Chain A
Amino acid sequence: MNKKIISFQNKIFFSLLILFCSDFYFCQEYLKEQFSLAQNLYNREKYFDAVTELKRLQFFDREGIYDFESNKLIAECYKAGGKYSEAIRFFSYAEIYAENFDDLFDIKIEIVRANILRRTASNAIKLLNEMEKEDRWSDKINEINYWRGWAYIFEDKWDIAAFEFAKISPYHELKTLCEETHQKKYSLTFAQVASAILPGTGQFYTGNYLSGLLSLAWCGLWGYTAIDAFVEDRIFDGLAVTNLLFFRFYRGNLQNAARFVREENIRIANESLHYLQHNYKGPRP
């Protein structure tokens, strides 16, 4: 009787064991297939559908086997779709499930890259500075400096970017590019001071000769009229011309000097950014 009971108990035990293993095996297989499907959609650039399939994977993946890979791929889909805030959110989830330091470092760099593209480069710089302080990334300092250089490029601080690339190598291609860009740029302070001393010179400095001549002419005309009025004791007329006309054109001259410098500097920066986006062969955000 006892033998029969033991034999029956063994059957139940083995049945359950086989059921569990088969469930686990088939479940694993279906999850693997689902992940492959999502990857396939990602490779075919169907990012919205890929995110749907990855969310399906996450919903059915009760064990959390694919937590890291699914969150990382969802983030990459959002990044490719230009939705950087969502990308950063899912990279942050992937960071929690990273299983080794290499994966963790890669994810942190992805967050930095997404921040750069989102034009929140200051966040990227903060993250990189924090990573630099940690001992575990001491062998990856070149990569940290590289992405910090890119962050400064997007902050339009080309001189500091050149300094960061110089830390990697004094002959780094991006160091040269950043230095050249910085040298081509016009000085805002110089333009404003020049225009303050002689109206129109700030515009001449940036090559806007016609605007400079007009500024000089108007300021000259109203300045002469005001002085003439004061000399002839027409104080009210002199004050009216000075306040309503001379100062208006003088202020306009200073504004234009600054505006033309900003426009030119943006044009110079955009030329370099266009090169970096379309011609530069190295890793980009």
Chain B
Amino acid sequence: MAENHWSKALRVARDSSNTQWDGVFANSVAMNDWAVAVTADYAALNLDQRDIAIGGDFELIKMDLYKTAPENWENIVWGASTIVLMIAHLMDRTNPKMMIDYPFPIVSLLDMLEGPTPTREYTVLNGYNLYDWEEFGLTLPDVTNNYSDIQYAAMDMQDLLDGEGAGTFDMVRVGPQTLHSINNRVVDAILGLLNVGGILHYTNTSRFQSAYNLGTPHRHPYTDFNRHIAAQTNFDVYHVPMEQGMIIAKRLS
């Protein structure tokens, strides 16, 4: 399949970047093997794909990307991961403690997890993304042949909501699939994880720009969550309305 807009744009961006992982960021074959394994698992579970069950939410239809991966699609993953790498690098903290909700079997992450003393201390929120990564990502030959001492931690959502790890994380990267609940309880718990100077990287804050394109943004379901974050008095909150949108928020006190 030909490149789509995303994989093409991010391939060009990757060609124009110069970071230590650009050359070996992701192996297309391994990424495709991973996508095929995850897709097969989801197919076996016979998930309800009707519109009333999934609507247009990316998190629920993203398996379409895996099933019909465009050429050079690993560049899409590169685009998402590069922002995490950039922020973590520019923070310039020694052995930073990171929380993520969506790990990929890519070099830039795996290098950070390899022992005996991992460069970054990663915790992954418990959930289906952790399952996919452990079950189909960490078992790839490209991973097992190159990494023998992967180290990370996992935290349950219940423990997050109970305040586990509050004030101890240097950076948290999550998406709406984690943050959105019936109220702001998860948002508050995520913000509470950060220490002073710590940074939240919240991705896809617009549901593919729909929150920006709507003439009445207060009627978009994402807006309340975004404004709740913007209202935090102990954070500098930068809402970046590019592509899917993102929030970068730094804890000040």
Partners in one complex: no
